[in-house]
Structure 1
Amino acid sequence: MMIMLLRTTLVATLALGSQAFTSYHHHGVTLTHLGASASSSVSIEAVGQDLNTALEGCQDEVAKTVNVAVGSSPTTGRLGLIATKNIKKGEVCLAMPLDDRYMLTADVARDVVFMGVLPEKFEGWTGDAGLIALLILNELARTAEQGIQLPARGDEVQALMKAWVSALPSPEEMKQSHPLLWSEEDQEILQLSSTNKIYRVLDDIEEDVAWLSERVFTDEKLPETVVINGEERPCFSQDGFRWAVALAQSRAVFVDSALRLLPLMDMCNHDDEGEEITRGMMGPFKMTKGAQIIAAQSYTAGDEIFCSYGPKSAADYLLEHGFCPPQCWKTAVSELTFDVDQDDRFYDDKLDILEFETYDQAPMDPAQSFDVISSPGRDGEPDPAMIQFVRLCKLGATDAFLLESIFRKEVWGFMSMPVSEGNELKVVNAVSEACQQAIDDLKQCPEGGPEVCTRLRESETKALSRTLAYLQREKEALDLKEYYQERRLKDLGLDSEWAPEDDMSADLGYGQTRTPGGADYDW
């Protein structure tokens, strides 16, 4: 019965192919990038059917609610999740327990699969995504009876994982869609088209690969290449790791305070109007932690269901998922980075404040990046957190007394408001210069390259220009602001002008003398 239902679903899915969809994408692999032919479409359907068959064999173990099947997506040319029944808005489409047997997380990599191979509490330059990437490569190796045979799982769950690995886009496919696998020429264009630099990510990957190649990839259980679907794929190598990091960044979701990749659930494509994948409690007594996809609208059996990958800038969407949905273009975002000058005579004091005295915030590094934003209804005002940080960076001269130990626990709060006209001028100039420099750098990008890079440059230039215009207005009104000294005098009640008659007030309780015989003692 289940197999018949899945076949019916796939037929219904194909019937949707003539409908017009414009706002849905999946992990950067789009129909226009793939140029999918009829033969490739059949291949995609076969891969999806294999995954459904494997799911049928272990559904009770890996999912609590399954109202979807994997099928060919008419919006991407690859796979998506297709409703197997009519689903109302707000209903659960798919719910999966957070189970280490099939869930890919940094903790599973460190504490289970690569325990004893990686140092305890290992964190590479690529963070949790890099650790999840190692698990993807291990699952790829396990399909060829190689790799580390952990975590332990039954044959049915292993069959699901093998089918899932086979369904992942190949490195060759992703060369057309994900920036981490673009040609060097296109990556250089992207590097010059955004303040969110792809070279930083690529450098992090290279740093991790260099370390892993010496200490991990030399294990004989970890193959450099494997053959899957008759095709040789890079595995525990630089190319394999870069491919796996791209998959981890595009498919993992942040659920229950950790980055997690849930096979099957990761097949859900993006829609700006969708709901994000969220934590849910499931099981007979709602005691089991899990992740779930909630329907943001009503679906008919055979419809593709969608989720949202969350609010992100266009550059973040492109670097992580390989595409930019329409919604992200409505808000122009660019990134600026500031740091405490190492030659600053108060460098150590400022580092101490950032590390220990930022109240309930986590310790801060001496270099921080912030977004500048332009969107409808906003006038270009910079992030208050950025201004607060830059005020501390520029604190000095006659304002340096605020760095004394007596103010140490209060100085970070002081930075949330203007300190002095001199300090505020330095802040406005520093942020203005950073904006102008970023605009000038974006203008240096040569024409050509991916069209999305051109749109990205235009969007970020808009955000930077809007912020620059706001700061120019601020600079002209510095004398109208209230600074620390004025606020302090006001707090002490010393902000008004003195007059002699003030000392003659009958209510004045100090500086008075007793009138002889004026006491009212009751002897």
Structure 2
Amino acid sequence: MQTSQKRLGNKVKIASVATHRLGLIATEHIAKGQVILSLPCDNDETFPVLTVTAAKQVFRDILPDSFDSWTGDAGLLAMLLLHHVAHDANTPSPLRTAWLQALPTIGEMAHHPYFWSEADQEILQMSSTNKIYQRLDDMEEDFAWWKKQVLDVDRQRFPETVNDQPCFSWTGFQWAMTMIQSRSFFLDGALRCIPLLDMCNHDDAAEEIQTASAGGFFGSGGNKNAQLIADHNYEVGQEVFCSYGPKSAADYLLEHGFCPEQCWKTAVSELTFEIDPNDRFRDDKLDILEFETYDQAPMDPVQTFDVVSSTSTGTTQTDGSPDPAMMQFLRLCKLGSTDAFLLESIFRKDIWGFMALPVSEQNELAVVNAIAETCQRALDEFNECADDRGPEVCKKLRQAESRALSKTIAFVQREKEALDLKEYYQERRLKDLGLDSEWSPEDDDMVGDDLSFGQTRAPGGADYDW
């Protein structure tokens, strides 16, 4: 690891730790706020950073320009990691070889849900709205494409095993996905797996990895570095930590294979909605989502949103109020009947903004009912799972997500009882036109002798010489 140590500098080293296998250990006193480690965000000849750009370069003769996948950037980086495993077996590189050998093996990743037994995976599927089967299905579908279109075409370049370990195979792809999802950081607008920095373990109180120009926070130049900043003073021999960021308990479990204590204080559950395939106005709504969401990227007809309940000490407990973006999307989903006139082309540039506020009592009722029904279906599924089945973390997930779902149901029920108190589109429109109050004779007193209501001059009042 001598080559690795040169990259790490003098402040930390990679060593065995009691609870996390390997970690970064302070080799000198480190003061709070000090930059512990600074490594490039992009790949170069001596430092194999895994990025989407690097992956597309490696597979440039294989992938079509329109390549897209269910696993997204993570799946592409997983294939790049397997490429490094296969390439290093034939052409070793000191830093890359040391890093690859330091990664946990498939056997050491048995705690990760991707490698759980089918029975435990089924319990997890029933314990969260963040579905593990959906992730596994996405991975299987992507790997099937790679296998048929790429891997089986050239097995010399893409071997199924390397040094008796799975490589370009389904098991190898599963392992690579766990490596990428558990060890990558989203930095400078992209997912990146940065060797050596990925050895830093998580602590809730630590700082997240930050980016800075290669010359420092105020340096010049376009190159970026990923920096680990000390959240407190570290002494020699202490393990140095970073934070993997705010995520739900289910996201931590499915991506990193564990759930830190902090994530249980904020219960998060996911609700998924879509434009009804049988909606008579579906094409209009899809057109709005694709072209008329203003500065936002085009939206898919299927959207997932978080519902939250927080019990963090010192904070106001979240009351289950739905995400405004979810309400906006659902109002469009449920738009119809007498509100369908808003889908006319004359409103096309404005309709997405209209959906940010209540449209009509009928539409708002359909929205709150959809939220309540979706939450209740998830709760019913949780109740089908006995508390003594599966890993203990599944029980904790069910309890946490049930709290978020119940809070949301309670909130929308209160909303349902107060629908007649809300201001809807027609009322807002009349107010904009100044027509929101009843007419009275006194209103005429505000009009000049030569003016009548709604006009700028009396009929025939122009001084024209015909």
TM-score (norm 1): 0.82
Q: Does 1:255 align with 2:255?
A: no
Q: Does 1:205 align with 2:148?
A: no
Secondary structure, counterpart of 2:366 in structure 1: helix
Q: Does 1:415 align with 2:355?
A: yes
Secondary structure, counterpart of 2:89 in structure 1: coil
Q: Is the 8 A contact 1:66 1:94 kept in 2?
A: no
* 1:501 positional shift: 3.0
The match for 1:325 among 243, 260, 285 is 260
Secondary structure, counterpart of 2:342 in structure 1: helix
1:424 corresponding residue in structure 2: 364
Q: Does 1:302 align with 2:237?
A: yes
The match for 1:131 among 58, 76, 90 is 76
CA 1:508/1:204 → structure 2, altered by over 3 Å: closer, same or farther?
farther
The match for 1:497 among 418, 434, 438 is 438
Q: Does 1:395 align with 2:338?
A: no
Q: Is the 8 A contact 2:123 2:394 kept in 1?
A: yes
Give 5+ residue unaligned stretches, structure 1. Answer: 1-50, 150-154, 516-523
CA distance in 1, matches of 2:385, 2:451: 71
Give 5+ residue unaligned stretches, structure 2. Answer: 459-466
Secondary structure, counterpart of 2:212 in structure 1: strand
Q: Is the 8 A contact 2:42 2:51 kept in 1?
A: no
2:51 corresponding residue in structure 1: 105
Paired residues in the alignment total 445
CA distance in 2, matches of 1:504, 1:98: 71
Q: Is the 8 A contact 2:4 2:98 kept in 1?
A: no
CA distance in 1, matches of 2:51, 2:158: 19
Query: 4+ residue runs of structure 1 moved beyond 6 angstroms?
Result: 512-515
Q: Is the 8 A contact 1:66 1:93 kept in 2?
A: no
CA distance in 2, matches of 1:369, 1:426: 18
* 1:286 positional shift: 4.5
CA distance in 1, matches of 2:449, 2:363: 38
Q: Is the 8 A contact 1:190 1:198 kept in 2?
A: yes
1:224 corresponding residue in structure 2: 160
CA distance in 2, matches of 1:95, 1:121: 35
* 1:317 positional shift: 0.5
Could you say what the CA RMSD is over the residues aligned between the two structures, in angstroms?
2.2
* 1:121 positional shift: 5.1
For residues 226-276 of structure 1, give each alpha carbon's deviation from its aligned partner in whole angstroms, at most 9, with x where no partner exists.
22xxxx311110000011001100001111111110111100000011111
Q: Does 1:265 align with 2:206?
A: no
Secondary structure, counterpart of 2:126 in structure 1: helix
* 1:306 positional shift: 0.3
For residues 410-453 of structure 1, give each alpha carbon's deviation from its aligned partner in whole angstroms, at most 9, with x where no partner exists.
11111111111111111111111111111111111244111000
1:75 corresponding residue in structure 2: 19
1:187 maps to a residue whose letter is Q
CA distance in 1, matches of 2:446, 2:186: 65
2:4 corresponding residue in structure 1: 55
Percent of aligned positions that are identical = 61
CA distance in 1, matches of 2:305, 2:69: 23
2:423 corresponding residue in structure 1: 482
CA 1:511/1:460 → structure 2, altered by over 3 Å: closer, same or farther?
same
Q: Does 1:453 align with 2:398?
A: no
- Superposed counterparts of 1:254-403, under 5 Å: 254-283=186-215, 286-287=220-221, 288-376=223-311, 377=316, 378-403=318-343
* 1:507 positional shift: 4.4
1:9 corresponding residue in structure 2: none
1:233 corresponding residue in structure 2: 165
- Greater CA drift, 446-455 or 113-122: 113-122
* 1:124 positional shift: 2.1
For residues 301-348 of structure 1, give each alpha carbon's deviation from its aligned partner in whole angstroms, at most 9, with x where no partner exists.
111000000000001111100111111101100000111111111111
